[in-house]
Amino acid sequence: MSIQTTIKALSDPTRRQILDLLKSGSLSAGQICEKFPVSGAAISKHLSVLKDADLIRDTREGKYIIYELNASVLEEVMLWLTDLKGE
């Protein structure tokens, strides 16, 4: 995944909030939707952008889709930023 795609996904405050929620553990789409005053369709779009950037992973459990944080991509971005900064 490109850094450009990752940075674009991270640029939205709602998507950053979703990532913050997922750092505590996996959540279903419904559980994520409950935390925001926007439509389920809007959250679905945000989840899609995060998934396309490989920042989250999803698995199907029965009729539910469960989302979890993919920290490895964030680690790659952090390493790139640290290298860019020269530390």
pLDDT at residue 80, as a whole number: 83
Task: Spell out the domain ranges in the chain.
Answer: 3-85
DSSP letter (8 states) at residue 27: E
Tens of pLDDT, residues 23-56: 999 999 999 999 999 999 999 999 999 999 999 9
pLDDT at 1 over 70: no
The residue type found at 77 is: V
Nearest to 10 by CA among 60, 64, 58, 81: 81
Query: Chain-wide mean pLDDT for the chain?
Result: 92
Q: Which CATH architecture has domain 3-85?
A: Orthogonal Bundle (1.10)
pLDDT at 9 over 90: yes
Nearest to 10 by CA among 87, 84, 2: 2
0.85 exceeded by pTM: yes
40-52 and 13-22 helices, crossing angle to 10°: 80
